[in-house]
Amino acid sequence: MKKLFTILALIASIFAIIFSVLPLSNLAIIPAIGALAFGIIAFYLSKKEGNVKKIIQFTFILTFIALAITTYKSIFTKTEVTNTDAIEAIEDKLEAESMQELEDLDIEIDESELEDIPFDE
Amino acid sequence: MIRISFLLLFLVSISLNAQNNAIGFGEKLTYTASYNMSGILTDLAEVTMETSAVKTSKTTLLRLKCKATTYSKWDNFFKIRDLYESYVNPKTLKPYLYNRDINEGGYYKNMKYTFSHKTKTVKTVQRKKSNWVQKKTVPIGADTKDIISTLYTIRTFDLTNLSSGTSKDFTILFDREEIKAKVTYLGKETISTALGTKTCYKISLGSTNSNTVNGTLWLTADENKIPVYGKFKIPVGTGELKIKSASGLKN
């Protein structure tokens, strides 16, 4: 039993660390809570036997590091869009191409229908 | 029999009311797309929906543009730069030209549709990486639209006096195939958004064939009917679309 909880705590803490370094860092909370729960159970079971293994303390350290990274990232990482030069270039290119194409198309719209639509130009 | 006649009446009224009183030129809606797993939200991308006037020598068209860009933290893992645009009749939202340019984690695809409503055909040009080009002409039905103009068309319906459960079918041309979709009105709901607390029309989007619901949209219960919140089914967890800002609204 003690061994099982130790292994579960270790696996959960490793997942917590992996998630925390990925952009999905918020999700690290789920395995971190699991790691803490399994770790505490493993710790008490070991304490009863009077032989607490270092590996359990190691899982606690991993979990705390994961939680620290997650908290840091959620506070200091800005959710912003950068690197939009390429898509802006595509937008301009497509617009130019489309204008050419639309000029060649035979579009029948009754202009009087459009009179009540205010133009924002 | 009475039910059928009511249904027919509804369908007729829907087709009569399908005039654009909700979408004007110069509207810009910005959304945050996020992933929700057990209540923990992770922001993925910014989605913008813009409209503008396009003047050709013959007429004026409405340009509908949707853009999805991942936030900078995702760019090194899975960069998405998607652009969808449709040039439509400003009154009826009938599409004339559609462009789709997607760049998702290194996968590139460009698709162009040129609609010919007289002959009921669409000329398509598909481009992929390293100048791979494929041209094809596909036949379409009378009411077939591209995905962007369909999304905007939903906003033009008069939902004020509908009873919940009423649905309307659409035909969408996507990846050169006609897909039958169904929009069902689910009733009114008040939700809190970045634009304040709004009373909304709740509608579900799904496929006609399988009767499954793929997503739910909340449109503001006013003249503009802007989508303020959306929930979409994905294999694990749910995808969410939340409005961040809205400007240039018609009403």
Q: What is the mean pLDDT of chain A?
A: 86
How many angstroms separate the CA atoms of B166 and B186, rounded?
8
Cβ neighbors of B235 (< 8 A, separation 6 or more) are none
Q: B174 CB near a chain A CB, below 8 Å?
A: no
pLDDT at residue B111, rounded to an integer? 93
Three-state secondary structure call for residue B70: strand
Distance from CA of B249 to the nearest CA of A (A): 11
Query: Are the beta carbons of A84 and B24 separated by less than 8 Å?
Result: no
Backbone angles phi, psi at B234, to 5 degrees: -130, 160
Query: Which candidate from A80, A83, A91 shows the least CB-CB separation from B83?
Result: A91
Provide the Cα torsion B18, B23, B25, B28; round to 10°: -150
CB atoms within 10 A of CB B159: 19
Q: Tell whether the model's pLDDT for residue A15 goes beyond 70.
A: yes
Averaged pLDDT in 10-residue chunks for chain B of 251 residues: 45 49 88 89 92 88 93 90 92 91 92 90 91 91 90 88 86 90 90 92 84 85 91 88 90 79
User: Chain A partners of B89 at a C-beta cutoff of 8 Å?
Assistant: 107, 109
Query: Are the beta carbons of A102 and B75 separated by less than 8 Å?
Result: no
* pLDDT, tens only, A49-88: 888 888 999 999 999 999 999 999 989 888 888 888 888 8
Name the nearest CA neighbour of A37 among A60, A15, A66.
Answer: A60
Q: Interface pTM (ipTM) of the complex? A: 0.76
Q: Tell whether the model's pLDDT for residue A26 goes beyond 70.
A: yes
Cβ neighbors of A120 (< 8 A, separation 6 or more) are B24, B25, B26, B53, B248
Alpha helix positions (H), chain B:
2-17, 72-75, 147-154
The token pair at A106 is 């035979």
Contact B59, A8 (CB under 8 A): no
Three-state secondary structure call for residue B202: strand
Query: Which candidate from B24, B71, B85 shows the least CB-CB separation from A94?
Result: B85
Query: A8: pLDDT confidence band, cut at 50, 70 and 90?
Result: very high
